[in-house]
Amino acid sequence: MDAFGKYKTIISARATDKRILKKSQDGGIVSAAFIYGLENNLLDGVIVADKEDGFKAVGFAFLFMAIVVYLVFRTPVPSAAVVLAAVSDIILAVGGMSLFGIPVSTATVAALLMLIGYSVDTDIMLTTRVLKRRAGSLDERINESMKTGMTMSITTIVAMFVLYLVVSYIVPAASLLKDISAVILFGLIADLMTTWMTNVGILRYYVSEYKGRK
């Protein structure tokens, strides 16, 4: 039973309604409980989602994010750099989840969706200031963007770290918030590298070398 981690009691249950058993994935106990709650006015409604739905949501978020980014900048290289940074943040966050044993759930999928927003926010701010501003040199525009972006990221990292500590030691019952804050922490720390090392390097090359040759 080591695979279950710490537990007090394990109960095996199975629905008795043959109609539920015929269509259920396993024992049908969750479906039976939902039906009982709805029929007896104990529940107003039920929302059910599985992991595949969550991954579809992340996929659609990436698709529409990539379209919007391309429409904003109209150039493939900077747009690809923004998308690459977001993808890298998600991959590293999922790697952190695997390393620390955080399960994939609706809460962690929601955290990954929020992480896409955080990642794109800093990358779009950087790309806009580098490509569309004319005041100052390239290095000055990058440094100005870095000051703003680092301030935004570090502020959020501190807030998520405090939330993680509060949930871990003061409100342990709110385990979902602990998972959400941990996933966002993984992604934001990764974003410091992907934005201010990878994306800055791509933009610097694009402005000084690639665009300069055209």
pLDDT of residue 2: 53
The tens digit of pLDDT for each residue in 130-146 reads: 888 878 888 899 999 99
CA 112 to each of CA 86, 96, 175, 184, 209: distance values in angstroms, whole numbers, following the listed order: 10, 12, 17, 7, 34
Q: What is the model's pTM? A: 0.72
Categorize the per-residue pLDDT at 48 as very low, low, confident or very high, splitting at 50, 70 and 90: low
Categorize the per-residue pLDDT at 62 as very low, low, confident or very high, splitting at 50, 70 and 90: confident
Q: Is the pLDDT at 10 greater than 60, yes or no?
A: yes
Q: Is the pLDDT at 212 greater than 60, yes or no?
A: no
The CATH number fitting domain 51-213, selected from 3.30.460.10, 2.40.100.20, 3.40.50.300, 1.20.1640.10: 1.20.1640.10
User: In the chain, where are the structural domains located?
Assistant: 2-39, 51-213
CA nearest to 122, candidates 89, 165, 169: 89
Categorize the per-residue pLDDT at 4 as very low, low, confident or very high, splitting at 50, 70 and 90: low
Cα distance between residue 172 and residue 80, in whole Å: 41
Cα distance between residue 104 and residue 57, in whole Å: 13
The tens digit of pLDDT for each residue in 144-184 reads: 999 999 999 999 999 999 999 999 888 877 778 899 999 99
Averaged pLDDT, 110-115 = 89
Strand extents, DSSP E, the chain:
none
The tens digit of pLDDT for each residue in 11-44 reads: 778 888 878 777 776 677 788 888 888 888 888 8
The tens digit of pLDDT for each residue in 66-89 reads: 898 888 888 888 899 999 999 999
Q: Is the pLDDT at 213 greater than 60, yes or no?
A: no
Cα distance between residue 117 and residue 212, in whole Å: 31
pLDDT of residue 146: 92
Q: Is the pLDDT at 92 greater than 50, yes or no?
A: yes
